Amino acid sequence: MQDTATQAITSSYLDEADRFGAHNYHPLPVVIERGEGVWVWDVEGRRYLDMLSAYSALNQGHLHPRIIGAARDQMRRLTLTSRAFHNDQMGPFLRELCELTGFERALLMNTGAEGVETAIKTVRKWGYQVKGIPADKAEIIVCDNNFHGRTTTIVGFSSEFEYRRDFGPFTPGFRRVPYGDIDALRDAINERTAGFMVEPIQGEGGVIVPPDGYLRDARDLCSRHQVALVADEIQTGLGRTGRRLCCDWEDVRPDVLILGKALGGGVYPVSAAIADSEFMDVFRPGDHGSTFGGNPLAAAVARASLEVIVEEGLIERSAQLGEWFMQRLRAIDSPHVEEVRGRGLMIGLVIRKSSGPARPFCEALWHRGILAKETHQQVIRFAPPLVIGRDELEEALAQVEAVLST
């Protein structure tokens, strides 16, 4: 029940964030204080179904007991050594990560953007040392509508005006092609091309699924021209799309794989650039690093995060429930819906322009106990924790149906 006293509590938190924080986000005005599995509770005691799961960083759900247990155990022993010394968690984590993904080596970082930066450095150095590109001439091809993070280098090759405006000058050496257009990629490749970096499904860009065969064709092109294929699976990886990696949908093996988000089990930022030795062996002591990358707490948390995804069958669950949920969303008879698209439990519901932006629909869902967030004006993204059950999705469906039919 909502009364003025509890409303005042919410307001005081919103006021503090507004007064003392930079205004670089536009969140829903809900203040969450507790989470468990697919549920979160606000400071007024109301319960919500989390249909965003921190952009897939919470694939395992809030406070997964096994991940929290691993974090607790590790916190009692050792949290940080820096890479000046070894720790007893990093080696096993690296091995497990390589075994799961099928690559030879990994380089551990913290945030997704750092994983992307690491992949860029890997591919450039490989381009000079292995491919033989003349010094400082390497190019990396990226896609229109990409999202790879927020560093100055990364926003420099974004096609989003807002991400770039007044943050220049930017890092040279990037070239953009339309997403899903294999001919454009072919035309853009030249002898100075070191890599092609792509999201197998564009997440922040609005859950854009490329045409069937695009990744396979890109793989072929890259192989033929000795270009490193870099898959940014920070959002799509680790079960989100109903496969281990989204590239698995087309049996494509990238040269460099970037993981983040769910690798940290919703507890701790953990990211990695993962590749075979041909690429990773370009690194020498001193040429790249991170104080926190590969720390024992991160490694212990990530080991548990991977175990949960595999052992609890979250990949299969995402595939099955995702297909069913998408069908049910498509069956909703609403004048507002233009399209429902996605794979597994990574789903975008596109609101028709004539019905206005997606934001008011997200606000209406919030009032009905469903937390979802718009991306790119017209798209409502549904990406719940993969531990979600059919009953909970039914509950979400009822509310989505109610909101879309008014």
Ligand X SMILES: *Cc1c(COP(=O)(O)O)cnc(C)c1O
Is 111 a binding residue for ligand X by CB under 6 A? The answer is yes
From 22-30, 107-115, 181-189, 385-393, give the range in contact with ligand X by CB under 6 A: 107-115
**Active site annotation includes 261:** yes
> Closest CB to ligand X belongs to which residue?
112
The β-bridge partners of 349 are 340, 380
- What residues numbered 1-60 form the site for ligand X, per CB under 6 A? 55
Give which of 115, 81, 356 is closest to 259, Cα–Cα.
115
Work out whether 147 is an interface residue with ligand X (CB under 6 A): yes
Least distance in angstroms from the C-beta of 203 to ligand X? 5
Q: Under the phi-then-psi rule, with left for phi > 0, alpha for psi from -120 to 50, and beta for the rest, what region is 146?
A: beta
Q: Is 373 a catalytic residue?
A: no
**β-bridge mates for residue 271, sequence order:** 109
Residue 138 makes contact with ligand X by CB under 6 A: no
Decide: is 234 part of the binding site for ligand X (CB under 6 A). Answer: yes
Number of Cβ atoms within 10 Å of the Cβ of 189: 19
User: Helix, strand, or coil here: 93?
Assistant: helix
206 binds ligand X (CB under 6 A): no
Placement of tokens 């007044």 in the chain:
166
User: Which of 37, 149, 254, 384 is in the footprint of ligand X by CB under 6 A?
Assistant: 149
- Bridge-based pairing of strands 39-42 and 47-50 is antiparallel
| Residue 335 buriedness (CB in 10 A; 0-12 / 13-18 / 19+) | exposed
Let me know if 232 is a catalytic residue.
yes
351 counts as binding ligand X under rule CB under 6 A: no
**Active-site residue among 103, 125, 131, 261?**
261
Q: Which of 50, 117, 139, 199 binds ligand X (CB under 6 A)?
A: 199
Between 193 and 375, CB nearer to ligand X: 375
* Candidate residues 42, 50, 232, 392; the one interacting with ligand X per rule CB under 6 A: 232
SS3 content of the chain, % helix, strand, coil (to 5): 40, 20, 40
CB of 311 to ligand X, least distance (A): 25
**Taking CB under 6 A as the rule, does residue 267 contact ligand X?**
no
* Residue 201 DSSP class: S
Report the sign of the C-alpha dihedral through residues 219, 222, 226, 231, in that order: negative
The reply to whether 235 sits near ligand X by the rule CB under 6 A is yes
Closer by beta carbon to ligand X, 232 or else 255: 232
Residue 153 sits in the site that holds ligand X (CB under 6 A):
no
Write the CA distances from 305 to 90, 268, 297, 315, integer angstroms.
14, 10, 12, 13
Q: How far is CA 186 from CA 131, 151, 181, 257, in A?
A: 18, 28, 9, 21
Q: Which of 131, 232, 279, 382 is catalytic?
A: 232
Query: 116 or 326, CB closer to ligand X?
Result: 116
Q: Could you list the active site residues?
A: 147, 232, 261
Chain residues binding ligand X by CB under 6 A are 55, 111-113, 116, 147-149, 199, 203-204, 232, 234-235, 260
